[in-house]
Amino acid sequence: MYPHFRLVGHRLCPYVQRVSMVMAARSIPHERVDILLDQKPDWLFELSPTGKVPVLVVDHERVLFEAAAICEYLDDLSGKNLFPSDPYARGVHRSLIAIGEEILALTARLIYQDMTEEQVDLTMHQMTGKLELIARQHEAGAAPSDRPLMLLDFVFATIFRPFALFAIALNRDLFTGMEDLRGWSVRLSKHEVVQNAVPRSYQAEMQKFISQKDGYLAGRLAMLPTVHLAHAQGTGQRP
C-alpha cells in the first residue's frame, strides 16, 4: 500500500513529466494539481524551498522536491529499478542522463533567454553537440526495444518532445544526421506512458506558452498558425 501522494506540477514542465511517467510506469496512484508558472500560489513556496515544480506531498504533510530525488524515492518504494542491474550499464545511463540535463538547460535558455537569432544559433549549435555525444554513446546504454522503460527513456522523452515544434519555428531539425536518436524518439512517442504524461494538446499549448515569452523563438512561434502535431512528442519525423 502506497502513501497518499499529491503531485504538484505544471502541464508542460519536463521535470514534472518525468515524475508523472515514473508514477504511471509503476502504477502508483496519486492526486495531481497543476499550477501556472507565472502565477505561482503562495502555498507552493510553503511546500517547496525552491518554489519550483515538481513537488510531491506524501500523506498530506511530508514533502519532496526536485525530480531526480522524487523519482529515486518512488523507485525505491516500488521495489523496482529505473536503472540497469549491471553496474557498468547503470553508469552509462547516469552519464547520458547528465548530458540530458544539460540539453534541458539549453532548451530553457532557448525559450527564456535567447533574444536574437545569433543567440538562438549558438544555443542550437550547443544542443546539437550534446546530441551528437548522446548519439555516439546511446548504443552503449541501449537495450532491447521490448524492455521496460527506464529513467533514461523518461528523461529523453521529455527532451525530444518539443523538437518538432522547434523545427517548424526555426527550420532546424535537431535530429539531422542522428537517425538512431530520431528512431529512439519515435519509439518512445508510441508508449502510452510517454503519451499520457502531457495533455493531448501539448504542441499547441507549448506553442502558446513560448509565444508569450520575450525571446526570438517566441516571436517566431507567434507568427505561425496554431501548430497541431501528432499527440505527445510528435512523430519524430522532419516537418
CB atoms within 10 A of CB 126: 16
pLDDT at 10: 97
- Catalytic site residue from 8, 12, 13, 22: 13
Enclosing H/E stretch for 186: helix 179-189
| pTM of the predicted model over 0.85 | yes
Kindly give the confidence (pLDDT) of every residue in the chain, 239 residues in length, as a single tens digit, with 9 standing for 90 and above. 899 999 999 999 999 999 999 999 999 999 999 999 989 999 999 999 899 999 999 999 999 999 999 999 999 999 889 999 999 989 999 999 999 999 999 999 999 999 999 999 999 999 999 999 999 887 655 554 667 899 999 999 999 999 999 999 999 999 999 999 999 999 999 999 999 999 999 999 999 999 999 999 999 999 999 876 654 344 444 33
Give the chain's domains with CATH numbers: 5-78 (3.40.30.10), 88-222 (1.20.1050.10)
* Residue 71: active-site member: no
Distance separating alpha carbons of residues 150 and 148, to the nearest angstrom: 6
Amino acid at 161: R
Q: Which amino acid is at 111?
A: I
> For the purposes of burial, counting CB atoms within 10 Å of the CB of 123, is it exposed (0-12), middle (13-18) or buried (19 or more)?
buried
How many CA atoms lie less than 13 Å away from 24 in the CB half-sphere? 18
The residues near 207 (Cβ < 8 Å, ≥ 6 apart) are: 165, 221, 224, 226, 227
pLDDT digits (tens, 9 = 90+) for 149-203: 999 999 999 999 999 999 999 999 999 999 999 999 999 999 999 999 999 999 9
- What sign does the dihedral 77-103-128-238 (CA atoms) show? positive
Q: What is the largest CA-CA distance in the chain?
A: 53
Q: Are 48 and 55 a contacting pair, CB within 8 Å? A: yes
First to last CA, the chain: 46
3-state secondary structure of 154: helix
Rg, the chain, Cα only: 18
